[in-house]
């Protein structure tokens, strides 16, 4: 892992860039919560939660690169699988049974 050898001469390394990008993704995910709360239909909320899950996967991958913890990618992979399964299952159950519960 040669992250320390990369970087600008002004001291801005690659870790700070990945942490800044992860912060931007966190801010955008928090902004997405508005649609998850105030969406008119169930599908609006489901779409917002799906985009939130994708943002979470990207944040986990960025933190894996920034903190040099490669096992975060396993968590991100399983989170992406569960996110896709959640979207498919809820969008199927809202049609066939009128809701999840």
Partner 1 sequence: MIETLRFWAIVVLLGLGVFFTLVSTIGVLRLPDIYSRAHTASQTDTLGAGFALAAVALAFGWQHAAVYTVLLLFFIFITNPTAAHAIARSAAESGVEPLLAEEGDADGSDTEPTAATDGGDADGGETR
Asked if 91 and 49 touch (Cβ cutoff 8 Å), the reply is no
First to last CA, the chain: 48
Considering the complex, state which of residue 11 and residue 48 has its C-beta at the smaller distance from partner 1: 48
> Degrees (nearest 5) of the Cα angle 79, 22, 72?
40
The 49-68 contact track toward partner 1, x by CB under 8 A, reads -xx--xx-xx--xx-xx---
Decide: is 26 part of the binding site for partner 1 (CB under 8 A): no
What crossing angle do the helices spanning 42-67 and 14-38 adopt, rounded to 10°? 170
Closest CA to 63 of 49, 76, 79: 76
Instruction: For residue 19, state whether it binds partner 1 (rule: CB under 8 A).
Output: no
Q: Which parts of this chain interact with partner 1 (CB under 8 A)? A: 1-3, 5-8, 14, 17-18, 21, 24-25, 28, 31-32, 34-35, 41-44, 46-48, 50-51, 54-55, 57-58, 61-62, 64-65, 70, 73-74, 76-77, 80-81, 83-84, 87-88, 91-92, 94-95
């Amino acid at each position: 892992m040669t992250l320390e050898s990369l970087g600008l001469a002004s001291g801005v390394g690659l870790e700070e860039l990945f942490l800044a990008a992860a912060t931007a993704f966190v801010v955008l995910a928090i902004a997405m919560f508005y649609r998850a709360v105030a969406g008119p239909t169930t599908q609006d909320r489901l779409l917002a939660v799906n985009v939130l899950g994708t943002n979470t996967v990207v944040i986990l991958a960025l933190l894996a690169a920034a903190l040099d913890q490669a096992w975060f990618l396993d968590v991100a992979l399983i989170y992406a699988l569960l996110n896709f399964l959640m979207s498919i299952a809820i969008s199927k159950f809202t049609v066939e049974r009128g809701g999840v519960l």
